[in-house]
Amino acid sequence: MKKRKFGFAMASLLAVGTLLGACGTKDEGKDNAENKEDTFSVAMVTDEGGVDDRSFNQSTWEGIEQFGKDNGLTKGNGGYDYLQSESEADYVQNLNSLIQRDFDLIFGVGFKLHNAVVEVAEQRPNAQIAIIDEVVPDLPNVASIMFNANEASYLAGVAAALETKTGKVGFIGGMEGAIVGGFEAGFAAGVKAANPDVQVFVQYVDSFTDAEKGRSIAALMYDQGADIIFHAAGGSGNGLFTEAKERKQKDPNANVWVIGVDRDQYDDGQVNADTNVVLTSVLKQVGVAAQEVAKLAQDGKFPGGELITYGLADKGVDLADDRGAMSEETKAQVEDFKQQIIDGTIEVPTAPTR
């Protein structure tokens, strides 16, 4: 599988906030101004977390929505849309349904769609499919989009180690595997680099949709003395926010903090007009990546058979620092560690060592 980096393109998209360029066409050489019905359509299939999971699916959908709006499209056939999966059994059916509805590009969101994407792509070689957070090698009609989330998680670990008052922090994962393992590995390494005396609690929910179990794990960690908890648990992480906010409501002086994931989750941590429990968030610019790949496909440059990886160097991952509670001193040290990662001085682990 070919590997491609889109540093300049990603940085440009983040800088201007919108995609530039005219709408593409299905038939090369046609003038879109004279063929208004011949537009480029995009859709996505979610995993069980749903399109409003406040995390990965939602970020992808926001990117697709923005692509649609930038290109004068409307939601539905011939424009942009999504299908929500209630279970893994829906993946193949949903992918096929969107292909039958003649969408030009279809995103499968999350590693759990791997087998379904392979099956559908092999059966429908003319379909253009992009899978996010998973690699599908050797299929010319599938583009694989990955993120070095371990790098941004390392920065989250640095921030947690510098901000903790108890010397104990936590990590809650959704399901064990290479993707979430990268979050854990980066976070633990960042904590150790900033303060090796800080203890890191680690526990997995074994689900991306069990908010109640996520909450119970968070409650236990807070009870054990952790004052900052980072989650990479999808919808299960909503339980962490619930627990932290309830503790803050009961005791405004409670020392409880959350580090969000995938998107800036500051709004999810709002307790009241004056109080928020979000320290920062690990950002994966999934929506911008979706826009970029859609633009490539629209221009007849669909990166089928290629692996596209986004990291700190090309602003595909980062740490939110504009609304959270990190001190200016911590932000400065985070920036120093970030530059060392970009320069190659620090090599961030990709898998846990526990």
Strands (E), the chain: 2-4, 42-45, 80-83, 105-109, 129-132, 142-147, 168-173, 199-204, 228-232, 257-262, 270-272, 275-276, 278-284, 306-310, 317-319
Tens digits of pLDDT across the chain (354 residues): 656 655 535 544 554 443 334 333 334 333 333 343 568 999 999 998 889 887 789 999 999 999 999 999 999 999 999 999 999 999 999 999 999 999 999 999 999 999 999 999 999 999 999 999 999 988 999 999 999 999 999 999 999 999 999 999 999 999 999 999 999 999 999 999 999 999 999 999 999 989 999 999 999 999 999 999 999 998 899 999 999 999 999 999 999 999 999 989 999 999 999 999 999 999 999 999 999 999 999 999 999 999 999 999 988 999 998 888 999 999 999 999 999 999 999 999 999 987
Q: Closest Cα to residue 234, out of 211, 268, 251?
A: 211
- Classify each residue of 223-251 as buried b or exposed e, where b means 16 or more C-beta atoms within 10 Å of its C-beta: eeebbbbbbbbbbbbbbbbbbbbbbbeee
Sign of CA dihedral 180, 6, 83, 282: positive
- Cα–Cα distance for residue pair 283/244, rounded to 1 Å: 20
Instruction: Output the six-digit token pair for 151.
Output: 């790098």
- Cα–Cα distance for residue pair 18/113, rounded to 1 Å: 28
**Which residue segments constitute the domains of the chain, with CATH numbers given?**
2-147+285-310 (3.40.50.2300), 149-284+324-343 (3.40.50.2300)
Q: What is the pLDDT of residue 2?
A: 54
Note the pTM of the prediction, 2 decimals: 0.83
The conformational region for residue 167 under phi > 0 = left, psi -120 to 50 = alpha, else beta, is left
